[in-house]
């Protein structure tokens, strides 16, 4: 089965996956999903830029966090959205690259570390 056939079968079974496929096809990478009782409990993904990361955490189709953070120590939060998978992926797709003149750049808080199990909304 080809990748596109696998993707099509997955989207037929779980239509929300089309949003994650869009991210993957845009260069995003995904971390191994933690499991409880053999069932994945969330999906974490990221995209790297020089000096920045974009990240997404999917707890459910309606409980999603998207962020952009600096690669400083500690990372600075420059953009954050929560909502449904479709809403957050759409906003991430519209977010200009960090070096674009219209990209958000003001650090509004300390971002979470991008490690499995530790991506929580900024405070």
Q: Is residue 20, in this structure, part of any structural domain at all?
A: yes
Q: Is residue 66, in this structure, part of any structural domain at all?
A: yes
Q: Average pLDDT in the 28-46 region?
A: 92
Helix 3-13 crosses helix 17-25 at what angle (to 10 degrees)?
A: 150
Q: Tell me the two tokens of residue 83.
A: 């909502």
Q: Is residue 48, in this structure, part of any structural domain at all?
A: yes
Q: Is residue 61, in this structure, part of any structural domain at all?
A: yes
Q: Average pLDDT in the 36-59 region?
A: 94
So what's the pLDDT on residue 120? 46
Cα(51)–Cα(39) distance, rounded to whole angstroms?
34
Q: Is residue 106, in this structure, part of any structural domain at all?
A: yes
**99 lies in which domain range?**
3-110
Phi/psi for 20 (5° steps) reads -70, -35
Cα(67)–Cα(54) distance, rounded to whole angstroms?
6
So what's the pLDDT on residue 114? 56
So what's the pLDDT on residue 118? 47
Q: What is the pTM of this model?
A: 0.84
Query: Number of structural domains, the chain?
Result: 1
Q: Is residue 121, in this structure, part of any structural domain at all?
A: no
Q: Is residue 101, in this structure, part of any structural domain at all?
A: yes
């Amino acid at each position: 089965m080809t990748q596109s056939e696998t993707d099509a079968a997955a989207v037929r079974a779980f239509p929300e996956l089309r949003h994650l496929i869009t991210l993957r096809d845009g260069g995003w990478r995904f971390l191994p999903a933690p499991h409880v009782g053999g069932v994945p409990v969330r999906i974490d993904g990221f995209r790297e830029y020089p000096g920045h990361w974009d990240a997404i955490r999917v707890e459910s189709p309606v409980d999603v966090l998207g962020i952009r953070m600096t690669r400083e120590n500690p990372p600075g939060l420059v953009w954050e959205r929560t909502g449904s998978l479709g809403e957050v992926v759409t906003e991430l797709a519209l977010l200009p690259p960090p070096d674009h003149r219209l990209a958000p750049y003001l650090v509004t808080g300390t971002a979470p570390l991008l490690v499995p199990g530790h991506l929580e909304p900024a405070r």
